[in-house]
Amino acid sequence: MKQKLLLIMLTLVLTTVLAACGSNKAESNDSTAEGEKAKLKVGISAGVEEEIWKQVQEVAAKDNLEIELVVFNDYVQPNKVLAEGELDANAFQHEPYLDQFKKDNNLDLVKIANTLNFPIGFYSEKIKEVSEIKEGDVIGLPNDPTNGARALILFENAGLIKLKEGAGITATVRDIAENKLNLKFEELDAAFIPKALGDLTAAVINTNYAVEAGFVPTQDAIFIEPKDSPWVNIIAVRTEDKDKPVFQRLIKAYHSDQVKKYVEEKYGSYIVASW
């Protein structure tokens, strides 16, 4: 009986020791996984975003994470290509745009982190002040739903129009409740607006396209969003991938002191780091 009891006790001790060893091994594997070599393919916008992401690449490389950048010149393909699995993540849009695009195209994508705020501006080659806009002038704005709404809110803040109550981030030109100057609104592809500016009295241009076209937003815009506007850009991934540890490494690299310092020193007059 005593021998049997001793055998049971020895078995329990051995089981406990093995369990402890197994637990330590799992923790070790988890710790090693954080620094294991990995690669991500990220879709971004051309221009300013490329320069900033080069800094992210440098930081990530120190964590054994390789980031391949795929550059796009439009706001449609990055989400579609991500949903199709040809990208691991993208970083070019604000959340209202992503939400609307997902709804319109039945995509399963999700935000995992904030990146930058690019306050948009109102530009012109013909006038210097909003007050110079006269009756019947033609005003340009992006033709995608969320950036179009963003432009209309900017026009309202500039005193040019009034929107229907509650229109908010879903506003369209049909939601204009008051247009005392009978302005004509021309909806155009966001990337094309800088090229069309000479044919318009003024237009809203997204910051990345404005910079590409040679504008300095804080100097050249005749009206601009405040720096604390809610239109913050994000990193998006497929919803099924959102909990993968590798994306925490990506976020850590983007939210690093090196990247923030670079943004503030080079683009701080018109781009805000939003973390």
142-163 pLDDT per residue, tens: 999 889 999 999 999 999 999 9
CA of 123: how far to CAs of 143, 155, 168, 214, 228, in Å? 16, 12, 22, 12, 20
- At the topology level, CATH places domain 37-119+230-273 in D-Maltodextrin-Binding Protein; domain 2 (3.40.190)
Percent of the chain with pLDDT over 90: 79
What is the reported pLDDT for 77? 97
Please write the tens of the pLDDT for every residue from 51-68: 999 999 999 999 999 999
Domain limits of the chain? 37-119+230-273, 121-224
CA-nearest of 193, 133, 185, 125 to 158 is: 133
Contacts of 259 (CB under 8 A, 6+ apart): 52, 55, 56, 59, 253, 273
At which residue do the structure tokens 């051995």 appear? 14
Please write the tens of the pLDDT for every residue from 114-152: 999 989 999 999 999 999 999 999 999 999 988 999 999
CATH for the 121-224 domain, from 2.60.40.1930, 3.30.1740.10, 1.20.1730.10, 3.40.190.10: 3.40.190.10
DSSP state, 175?
G
CA 202 to chain centre: 26
Per-residue tokens: 52: 């900033």
CB 83 within 8 Å of CB 56: no
Per-residue tokens: 120: 């948009």
Residue ranges in 226-256 assigned as alpha helix (H): 245-254
Beta strands in the chain (DSSP E): 38-45, 65-72, 89-94, 109-117, 121-123, 138-142, 162-163, 176-178, 184-188, 202-205, 223-224, 232-238, 272-273
Single-letter amino acid code for the residue at 255: H
What is the reported pLDDT for 33? 59
Lowest mean pLDDT among 32-41, 79-88, 184-193, 244-253: 32-41
What is the reported pLDDT for 108? 98
DSSP state, 96?
H
What is the reported pLDDT for 229? 80
Mean pLDDT, range 74-90, rounded to an integer: 97
Do 37-119+230-273 and 121-224 share a fold?
A: yes
- CA–CA dist 78, 80 (Å, integer): 6
CA of 190: how far to CAs of 65, 141, 145, in Å? 33, 7, 11
Per the model's pLDDT, the better-predicted residue between 107 and 2 turns out to be: 107
